[in-house]
A and B are shown apart, each in its own frame.
Chain A
Amino acid sequence: MVLFVALAPLLTGIIRKTKAFLSLRRGAPVWQPYADLRKLFRRGIVRSSTASWVFDLSAPVVLGGTLVLAAATPLYSREVPLPVHFVLYIYLMALPRFFQTLAGLDTGSAFGGLGSSREVSVSSMAEPALILALCGLAFLGGADTVNGFLSGMPAGSVLARPETILIAGTLFLLLLAENSRIPVDDPATHLELTMIHEAMVLDHSGVDLGMIQLASSLRIALFSALVSAALFPQSLSLPAHLALPAALARLCLFGVLIGSVEAGTARLRLSRVAAFLMVATVLASIALAIQHAG
C-alpha cells in the first residue's frame, strides 16, 4: 500500500503528459508531480485570518481519509488491511470531501464557497450511480465487502458477464466526475469562475496543499484500481512477482486513457453535468436489470 501511495502521483504525471502530447506540446516530465509535492512540503502555510480550526484540520483529514480508503481497496491482491462494507466505503469516499468543502467555506473567500457548493452538487448527483454500481458488483461477487466482491467475481472473460462492462463504464464516468477531470471540471483551469475543485482549495498552501494534491492523485489511482478490478478480477490473484508489473501497467494504461479522454473532449456546461451523471446512473441501473434477466 505504501508503494501504491508512492506511485499515485506518477498517474497524475502520466495523465498530464498524455494531454500535452495529444495537443502537440512537450509537457512537463512525468515526475513533475513529485517535484511539486517536494516543493510544497518544504513550504510554510499561509492561513486566512478568518479561518478556524476546521481549516487546519481539513488537509490532514482529507489525506487520512483517502489513506483509509486505500487500505480498504484491493490494489494488488485479494487481501486488504481493512475490509469494509461497501456502504461504509461510499461514506469513506464522502468524508474527505465533506471536510474539504467545510474548509472551502471556512476561509470566508467567495471562491471557496462557490467551489464548495459546486463540488457538493456534483458529488450528490454522482452518489446514486456509485451506489448502484457497487450494488451491482456486490450481487455479482456475492459478498458485501469491497475486497470480498471484487475477488469473488466469477472467473472467465469479461464478455461472459457483459454487465460488468456497463458497471466499469459507470465507474469510469464517476472517476471523471469525482476527480474533477475534464468533461465535468478542468483541473488545469486558471479562471476562478469556472473552477469546481480548484476553487475550493484556492486558500490552501504549503504542506496543506501538498497533502490535498497527494490525496487527489491517490483518489484517481483508487478509482482506476476499482475499474480495472471490476473488468479483470484475475489481476487480483496474480503471483507475487507479477503483481508489481501489472500494477505499473495498469497505472500507465489509465494515465493514457484518462489523458486522451481529457484531450479529446470539451468541458460540459455546468447545467449539462447533471445529464452526464444521469447517464452514469442509467447505465448502472441497466447493469442491474441485465443481471436480473441474464
Chain B
Amino acid sequence: MNALTVLLLLLGIHLTVSERIRPSIRSLAAQGFLLALLPLLETPGTTWRAVALSLAVIAGKGIAMPAILTRVVSRLEIREESESLVSTKATILLTGALTLAAFVAGTRFGLSGKDELGAAAGLALLFCGLFRMTTRVKAVSQVIGFILMENGIFLLGTVSGGEFTLPIELGIFLDLFVAVFLMGILMFKIQRAFTHMDFRKIHTLKD
C-alpha cells in the first residue's frame, strides 16, 4: 500500500518535471493502472462496487485518456518538447517544495485518520497537477496537468474512505472523461483556426 503510494508520487513528480509529451502520457497511463489497484486494496474483502470502480479506472485513466492524448499529439504533430513558463531547474525545486508543503499540510491538518501518507501524497499530486497546468504553454500539456490533479483528488478521496465516496468518485471521473474528450475535439478546432496551440498567442484574435 505504502509502496503503491510512493510509486504514484514518483510518477506524479516525473509528470510535473518531464518536458517531453510522450513519456508524460506513458507515466499518466501507468498512474491510471496503479490507481485502479487502490479501491481493491482499500475495501476489505472484494465487493462488486470496488471491482467495478477498478475496471472503470483501468478503462478510463489507464487506456482511454492516454489513447485520446496520444491521438491528439500524433494528429496535431506536436513537437516533443513542451515549453514551460518556468525553467527546468526552478520546476524541479518548486516540485520538491510543493511536495514538502503537501506533506506538512497533509500531516498537520490530519486529512485522513488512517492513511496519512496516502492523504499527503494525494495532496502533493493535486499541487503538482495544478503547477503543471498553470505553467505549461501548450494546451495538451495543460490537459495532462489537469488529469494529474484529478488523480490526486482520486487518491485523496479513496484513502479518506467513507461510504458515499464511490458514486461521487464515479461522477467526477465521468466529468473528467468528457472533459478530456471535449478538449481533444477542441484542440483540433483550435489548431485549424490558429495553426498553433500556444496560449500566449491565442489571446490576440485572428479575423
What residues make up the interface of A, taking CB atoms closer than 8 Å to B?
A: 159-163, 165-166, 272, 274-275, 278-279, 281-282, 285-286, 289-290, 292-294
Which residue from chain A places its CB closest to the CB of B93 in the assembled complex?
A: A278
B25 to chain A, nearest CB (A): 20
Query: Of A160, A165, A275, A292, which is within 8 A of B107 by CB?
Result: A292
Give the complex CA separation of A51 and B103 in angstroms.
Answer: 53
Question: Contact string, B70-110, partner A, CB cutoff 8 A, digits 1/0?
Answer: 00000000000000000011001101100110011011000
- Chain B neighbourhood of A274, CB < 8 A: 89
A289 to chain B, nearest CB (A): 4
Q: Are A159 and B3 in contact (CB under 8 A)?
A: yes
Query: Of B6, B13, B117, B120, which is within 8 A of A165 by CB?
Result: B6
A54 to chain B, nearest CB (A): 35
Interface hits, B128-186 → A, CB 8 Å: none
- Chain B neighbourhood of A165, CB < 8 A: 3, 6
The tally of CB-CB contacts under 8 A between chains A and B is 60
Query: Of B88, B96, B107, which is within 8 A of A282 by CB?
Result: B96
Which residue from chain B places its CB closest to the CB of A274 in the assembled complex?
A: B89
- Chain B neighbourhood of A290, CB < 8 A: 6, 103, 117
B19 to chain A, nearest CB (A): 10
A116 to chain B, nearest CB (A): 24
Give the complex CA separation of A274 and B92 in angstroms.
Answer: 10
Query: Of A275, A286, A294, which is within 8 A of B88 by CB?
Result: A275
What residues make up the interface of B, taking CB atoms closer than 8 Å to A?
A: 2-3, 5-7, 9-10, 13, 17, 88-89, 92-93, 95-96, 99-100, 103-104, 106-107, 116-117, 120
- Chain A neighbourhood of B93, CB < 8 A: 278, 282
- Chain A neighbourhood of B96, CB < 8 A: 278, 281-282, 285-286
Q: Are B2 and A294 in contact (CB under 8 A)?
A: yes
Which residue from chain A places its CB closest to the CB of B119 in the assembled complex?
A: A293
A12 to chain B, nearest CB (A): 30
Which residue from chain B places its CB closest to the CB of A281 in the assembled complex?
A: B96
Q: Are B103 and A292 in contact (CB under 8 A)?
A: yes
Given contacts A282-B13, A286-B99, contact A160 B89 (CB under 8 A): no
Q: Are A293 and B107 in contact (CB under 8 A)?
A: yes
Given contacts A275-B92, A294-B116, A294-B117, contact A285 B100 (CB under 8 A): yes
Give the complex CA separation of A6 and B17 in angstroms.
Answer: 41
Which residue from chain B places its CB closest to the CB of A287 in the assembled complex?
A: B6
Which residue from chain A places its CB closest to the CB of B91 in the assembled complex?
A: A275
- Chain B neighbourhood of A278, CB < 8 A: 89, 92-93, 96
Give the complex CA separation of A30 and B6 in angstroms.
Answer: 38
Which residue from chain B places its CB closest to the CB of A163 in the assembled complex?
A: B6
